[in-house]
Amino acid sequence: MKQTRMATSPVLTGIHPLDAEGLRLIHAYWRAANYLSVGQIYLLDNPLLKTPLGLEDLKPRLLGHWGTTPGLNLIYAHASRVIKRRELDAIYIMGPGHGGPAGVANAYLEGTYSERYPDVTMDEAGLRKLFRQFSFPGGIPSHNAPETPGSIHEGGELGYALVHAYGAAFDNPDLTVFCIIGDGEAETGPLAASWHSNKFVNPARDGVVLPILHLNGYKIANPTVLARIPENELIELMEGYGHRPVIVSGDDPMKVHQQMAAALEWCLDEIARIKRGSDHERPVWPMIILRTPKGWTGPKTVDGVQVEGTFRAHQVPVTDFESEPGHLKILEDWMRSYHPEELFDASGKLVNELAQLAPRGDRRLSANPHANGGELLKDLRLPDFREYAVTVTRPGTTLGEATRVLGTYLRDVVKNNPDNFRIMGPDETVSNRLGAVLEATNRAWDAEVVPGDDHLGPDGRVMEVLSEHMCEGWLEGYLLTGRHGLFDCYEAFIHIIDSMFNQHAKWLKVTRTIPWRRPIASLNYLLSSHVWRQD
Amino acid sequence: MKQTRMATSPVLTGIHPLDAEGLRLIHAYWRAANYLSVGQIYLLDNPLLKTPLGLEDLKPRLLGHWGTTPGLNLIYAHASRVIKRRELDAIYIMGPGHGGPAGVANAYLEGTYSERYPDVTMDEAGLRKLFRQFSFPGGIPSHNAPETPGSIHEGGELGYALVHAYGAAFDNPDLTVFCIIGDGEAETGPLAASWHSNKFVNPARDGVVLPILHLNGYKIANPTVLARIPENELIELMEGYGHRPVIVSGDDPMKVHQQMAAALEWCLDEIARIKRGSDHERPVWPMIILRTPKGWTGPKTVDGVQVEGTFRAHQVPVTDFESEPGHLKILEDWMRSYHPEELFDASGKLVNELAQLAPRGDRRLSANPHANGGELLKDLRLPDFREYAVTVTRPGTTLGEATRVLGTYLRDVVKNNPDNFRIMGPDETVSNRLGAVLEATNRAWDAEVVPGDDHLGPDGRVMEVLSEHMCEGWLEGYLLTGRHGLFDCYEAFIHIIDSMFNQHAKWLKVTRTIPWRRPIASLNYLLSSHVWRQD
Ligand SMILES: Cc1ncc(C[n+]2csc(CCOP(=O)(O)OP(=O)(O)O)c2C)c(N)n1
Ligand SMILES: Cc1ncc(C[n+]2csc(CCOP(=O)(O)OP(=O)(O)O)c2C)c(N)n1
């Protein structure tokens, strides 16, 4: 495809898409999600703070990641707003899935949590359960996990947010994938490479990934690289990756709400324009850089040391309640700063005006069927393998190559299943003798094409990029959203994705025990060449 | 450090640093390297083409990667030129180390090969051996390997060129590392992340990495992403990564020689200016983008199909000599186009005027001791571990944490070995309870520092980046050049570098059998946390 560069990104300060009431409501929704997140990290009991907080209300062992959570909640609230306004079909990938409280809190606010787990009711008793179960023996993990409604993305090993998002978007032309990437995660190899996924997207038949780089400045105990380079350098980087970034930045919630709303409107207008497909050029997809304090709205200082806006907010920002009597007040003030009494009624139910903000039914991010791919799974239409038999008239006289024959079978699988089967590989499909598939399809390619190129086109079902991480991640995202595929790789290099495979297998193992998770298709590998020939 | 942006890169067309004689000589040197590379891929015999090429002169099984080789040879020749002019101490990392013929050819031209392997003499018999042994039973691998003098970098699994280069440069203030990165390799995750290594370099106490992105356009059977995005997008990407790129581009060797010479002079001037250290800002390090045809100077077409400048040049560009009688002439014409009779005398010895071009002794890229790290290895000065014992007066009454105690020991190792011991980790040094090391040193950090930051500075011996690939790769490069270190990591995430570890172990295994390779220090891991807690 031809490719052009266009005007730079808009400056959004000064644009106010939210009227006073809209602003009040979205801020209240965010406060509710933040309140529920803090509650999960800390509380055993007294979920509505009906009485002063006591030591006996606190969990004995405090676990969880607060730092990333307010940002995740903010984006979630704003994403839900535009889903409703624009009737989007969308899912939400939480790169910093260690911010597990955010996923759970939002699913709860949307009512999905109680639908999936009827014992976690939308009242005080349910809130108590919700809080208590988090990272508690017999409860749920502290990170985004298969248990979390709306998730296809484990909050464990970082690096795969974008590839999972793209995998979900392929062949889902009407899907929008909000993909949050931590600035820590952005330092990983797989993530750094996967920005280039945008050269493999077909605007006509694929969905859209909207990357939101969550620049809260820190990883565990250190600043992040992308937060500490000059902003114009960061913008160049994102433009170099083929994106048009728009920046949302600040620590005043009211201002950030307006900017965030404006940024999303601008991005979705851009996306709609691109999707109309008038320009015959590789699109420059929009993305958002969100620069807000780590642990935003949490304790500003603890024992005289700054916490909000620093790496100290990464996990549990205030602890040691037994030994430090002042800490309980910090926590209580913090939780009360969200004004739970305005968010939940006396019975513990989310107040109506907030419950009504969420999208309805399947449109809720936590209930979208694409995030429970098994619900959408269709069997592959497979040809009869006997028709591909190599005829052997006399023993020892017929020559045949296993993968060359398989190639003809796969060619017909591609033909029969034009929108739910893909083949991924690090540029080894032909060298693995599967070349026959190219009789039925191209290699996916949305960058420049020159004379002499071999089977490249935006429509391709074969996806070749020299990154085993991207191949694996795309395929995982594709499978997790209910489709089928194959990864062909030299055996020598499959070890590159050992740990990704482990994480995927762990996900599958856990989903077996979750009744509402529907089974998805298997992850198929074709490994060729001898493992020790690493060249 | 403060950081500023400066003027954009120079345009080099029209600058001619080479006089006619200099141009003639460097071109001849390049031809010699190319000739030796083709010879290795094809010839069993008749190494000087003293008689017309016959089928019996060819290897029965043709292996090797031609496509990348002319580019590797070109950069090598020009790097050697500036090493001599500027008396540089330098090593050469071949990212596309599958272009193994290039490493061997250049070591041979420099005389190092015959020093290391006295049976491969600098005459016709030696040439025959050199050609025959390549990718031949009982011979040497087809890729850069421990056997290749001057290499610390295996030509196997792609992705680690830059991290190895940086690992080599740390604490070697006078070393220049020429690092060639294939545009295919640039698609991998580890490589895409590792450009940011430049934020962890201290211009005063570390050496310099000069990245050269080898944009020959193709990987195995496909174009590469970076070759098919608009040039301004690629420049933005490199600037976003914190580099100032200079572009060398063309297919006319004479013009490219001039541009390449000019580019290197400009880069090395820039580097010298940065090294003088007058600006108190994070430097914007130069880099080169080299855009030349894949398989340059090889057969233009075979059977009417274009080969030079396409993916068809990736491995062996012309084959099937038995069945296609015209092919032998293609090969012979190709080899004779380098005019071997001008490059080697009748005895098969490299002519004097070319032999004199190479740097002398240790300054030869193939003989630099940094590329045989064991030669430079110094024992660590280790404190007596007994002094760190935890006193236990009565059983079951003393509390102690293993890694916290280890931290105090490591602190003193850092103190005693201020320039040849480093600790790498994905931001987990404190959470792994090794915090005491920060009493003796900082975390390496050359990007912005703000109040409240914890132990950051360009001088740090602790290197934290959220990329297990970078940690492992930096450490490997550091060890391979004769130093010591430790990688501390959560056990859950060490699987991310399984395949890197395999490749390193393979390297070590092979070096055991190579007498001139001196042993290097062990690769030390400290793994903490339970493997299944992936968050
Ligand atoms: C591959 C990998 N290495 C290390 C970790 C340990 N870890 C957990 S959270 C975290 C920091 C994440 O930073 P970021 O992505 O910016 O998220 P946020 O700051 O928003 O929490 C690290 C290093 C991990 N989860 N995955
Ligand atoms: C991680 C990894 N995956 C796959 C391969 C197989 N492979 C060998 S060479 C090559 C293409 C390399 O392209 P590039 O880096 O541009 O080198 P060049 O084109 O100069 O040969 C591939 C994919 C590999 N060596 N390493």
Residue nearest to atom 14 of ligand 1 (CA): A184
Look at A236 and B233 and tell me if their CB atoms are within 8 Å: no
Interface of B with A in 260-289 (CB under 8 A): none
pLDDT at B277: 82
Per-residue confidence at B450, pLDDT binned at 50, 70, 90?
very high
Mind listing the pLDDT tens digit for each residue in B337-375?
A: 999 999 999 999 999 999 999 999 999 999 999 999 999
What is the token pair recorded at A75?
């984006």
Number of residues written out for chain B = 535
Q: Does A310 touch chain B (CB under 8 A)?
A: yes
Cβ neighbours for B45, distance < 8 A, ≥ 6 positions apart: B56, B57, B128, B132
Mind listing the pLDDT tens digit for each residue in A328-377?
A: 999 999 999 999 999 999 999 999 999 999 999 999 999 999 999 999 99
Task: Say if pTM beats, i.e. exceeds, 0.80.
Answer: yes
Is B72 close to ligand 2, i.e. is its CB under 6 Å away? no
Is B291 close to ligand 2, i.e. is its CB under 6 Å away? no
User: How much is the average pLDDT of B114-123?
Assistant: 98
pLDDT at A116: 98
pLDDT at A4: 45
Partner residue opposite B535 with nearest CB, options A155, A235, A492: A155
Is A218 close to ligand 1, i.e. is its CB under 6 Å away? yes
By CB neighbour count within 10 A (0-12 exposed, 13-18 middle, 19+ buried), where does B303 fall?
exposed
Residues of B in contact with A4 (CB under 8 A): 230
Per-residue confidence at A14, pLDDT binned at 50, 70, 90?
confident
User: How much is the average pLDDT of A135-148?
Assistant: 94
Mind listing the pLDDT tens digit for each residue in A158-169?
A: 999 999 999 999
Run of H or E including A248: strand A243-249
Average the pLDDT over each of A244-258, A306-320, B265-279, B281-295 and give the range with the smallest value: B265-279
* pLDDT reading at A306 higher than 50: yes
pLDDT at B4: 45
Q: Does A216 touch chain B (CB under 8 A)?
A: no
Q: Closest Cα partner for A217 from A123, A295, A119?
A: A295
Percent of chain A scoring above 70 in pLDDT: 97
Mean pLDDT of all residues belonging to chain B: 95
pLDDT at A5: 46
Is A493 close to ligand 2, i.e. is its CB under 6 Å away? yes
User: How much is the average pLDDT of B249-254?
Assistant: 97
Per-residue confidence at B289, pLDDT binned at 50, 70, 90?
very high
Q: Does A2 touch chain B (CB under 8 A)?
A: no
- The whole-angstrom separation of Cα A149 and Cα A96 is 16
Which one of B427, B428, B432, B466 would you pick to mutate in the ligand 1 pocket, going by the greatest count of ligand atoms within 8 A of its CB?
Answer: B466
pLDDT at A34: 98
User: By CA distance, what is B100's nearest residue in A?
Assistant: A535
Partner residue opposite A187 with nearest CB, options B97, B467, B493: B467
Is A184 close to ligand 1, i.e. is its CB under 6 Å away? yes
What is the token pair recorded at A434?
């599967």
Per-residue confidence at A531, pLDDT binned at 50, 70, 90?
low
Mean pLDDT of all residues belonging to chain A: 95
pLDDT at B12: 78
Look at A189 and B187 and tell me if their CB atoms are within 8 Å: no
By CB neighbour count within 10 A (0-12 exposed, 13-18 middle, 19+ buried), where does A283 fall?
buried
Residue A277 CB coordination number (10 Å): 10
Look at B456 and A428 and tell me if their CB atoms are within 8 Å: no
Q: Closest Cα partner for B79 from B179, B173, B171, B148?
A: B179
Mind listing the pLDDT tens digit for each residue in B392-435?
A: 999 999 999 999 999 999 999 999 999 999 999 999 899 889 99
pLDDT at B535: 55
Separation in Å, CA B243 to CA A189, B19, B213, B414: 18, 30, 12, 31
pLDDT at A279: 64
Q: Closest Cα partner for A482 from A170, A202, A178?
A: A170
Mind listing the pLDDT tens digit for each residue in A392-408?
A: 999 999 999 999 999 99
Mind listing the pLDDT tens digit for each residue in B195-242?
A: 999 999 999 999 999 999 999 999 999 999 999 999 999 999 999 999
Separation in Å, CA B238 to CA A3, A61, B169, B263: 19, 46, 20, 16
pLDDT at A142: 94
- The whole-angstrom separation of Cα B270 and Cα B244 is 10
Longest dimension (CA), chain B: 88
User: How much is the average pLDDT of A305-318?
Assistant: 97
DSSP labels for B32-50?
HHHHHHHHHHHBSS-TT--
Look at A445 and B223 and tell me if their CB atoms are within 8 Å: yes
Percent of chain B scoring above 90 in pLDDT: 92
Residue B28 CB coordination number (10 Å): 19
DSSP labels for A269-315?
HHHHHHHHT-S-EE--EEEEEEE--TTTTS-SEETTEE-TTSGGGSS
* pLDDT reading at B7 higher than 60: no
Mind listing the pLDDT tens digit for each residue in A460-512?
A: 999 999 999 999 999 999 999 999 999 999 999 999 999 999 999 999 999 99
Distance A198 CA to ligand 2 centre (A): 21
* pLDDT reading at B122 higher than 60: yes
Distance A425 CA to ligand 2 centre (A): 12
List, in order of start, the domains of chain B with CATH numbers.
31-359 (3.40.50.970), 376-528 (3.40.50.970)
- The whole-angstrom separation of Cα B129 and Cα A264 is 66
By CB neighbour count within 10 A (0-12 exposed, 13-18 middle, 19+ buried), where does A428 fall?
buried
Contact predicate B445/B460, CB 8 Å? yes
